[in-house]
Structure 1
Amino acid sequence: MKFHEGQFRCKICFKKFTQQGHLRNHMKTHDENRPKPFKCELCDYSTDIKQSLENHLRIHNKNREKSLKCNQCDYKTDLKSHLKSHMQRHNPNRVKFPCLYCNYETTIRSSLKRHLKK
């Protein structure tokens, strides 16, 4: 499985990717001439990915109240993507991602990727 092998690596910053397409997209971030239409109003950060700007804005809003709440437990967040990921934990039919090398199992694909990197 490629997760354990870390096949696709950026030759500039050495970040690893599990898919060649992800590496290709990442390489665009090293092109200083590409347009970056999403600009932070609070600092000089800019990007060509709207979600990246939204994630960046969190550093300016660390003390902001977490307005998104789970309707099944006390979990709160300020990012829709985090709430969506959290809600997977309450789904009884959720897909499980097992490690092929040990007995680790998770319902979150990114957690398996993190585990496999270790």
Structure 2
Amino acid sequence: MRKEYLETHTNNHNNIKNFVCSICSKRFSSQKNLDSHFKYHDGSIKREICNICGKSLTTSMNEHLRIHTNLREFECNHCELKFNTKDTLRKHKKIKHKEPS
């Protein structure tokens, strides 16, 4: 495992964010993530605006719209709770059922 990857991985788990955007002051756990973030400022990555809540998105609009429709199709195999995104289900399993990320 490369030293840089291990450091980024450790920073993510410990919520250490030493890399700061000089434009908006958002913090990141790695230089790579900060470099990717700059693409939002220079217009390389386009954002969609949700016409329901006005949130600016860089991810799937369809996934975001599940929040507004309350569609919960991702079910926990431990407790049968349902979630509107895979990421929310993953976070639930990590916290409530101590599953690794």
Calculate the TM-score normalised by the size of structure 1: 0.51
The answer as to 2:81 corresponding to 1:75 is yes
| Structure 1 residues 45 and 10: alpha-carbon distance in aligned structure 2, compared to 1, 3 A threshold | same
RMSD across aligned C-alpha pairs, in angstroms? 3.4
Identity %: 30
The alpha-carbon deviation at position 67 of structure 1 amounts to: 2.2
- What CA distance in whole angstroms lies between the structure 2 residues aligned with 1:85 and 1:15? 22
Distance (whole Å) between structure 1 residues aligned to residue 15 and residue 56 of structure 2: 33
Q: Identify the structure with the greater helix proportion.
A: 2
**Structure 2 stretches lacking a partner, 5+ long:** 1-9
Normalized against structure 2, the TM-score is what? 0.57
CA 1:13–1:54: 2 relative to 1, 3 Å: farther
Q: Distance in 2 between matches of 1:80 and 1:4?
A: 21
In 2, distance between residues paired with 1:71 and 1:62? 24
Indicate how the Cα distance of structure 1 residues 82 and 4 shifts in structure 2: closer, same or farther if over 3 A, else same. closer
Q: Which residue pairs with 1:85 in the alignment?
A: 91
Bigger relative contact order (CA 8 A; separation at least 6) = 1
**Larger of the two Rg values belongs to structure:** 1
Q: Distance in 2 between matches of 1:86 and 1:45?
A: 23
* Equivalent position amino acid for 1:7 in 2: N
CA contact (8 A) 1:46 1:53 kept: no
- Pairing 1:48-59 to 2, within 5 Å after superposition: 49=58, 51-54=59-62, 56-58=64-66
1:17 paired to 2:24: no
- Specify the alignment match of 1:116 in structure 2: none
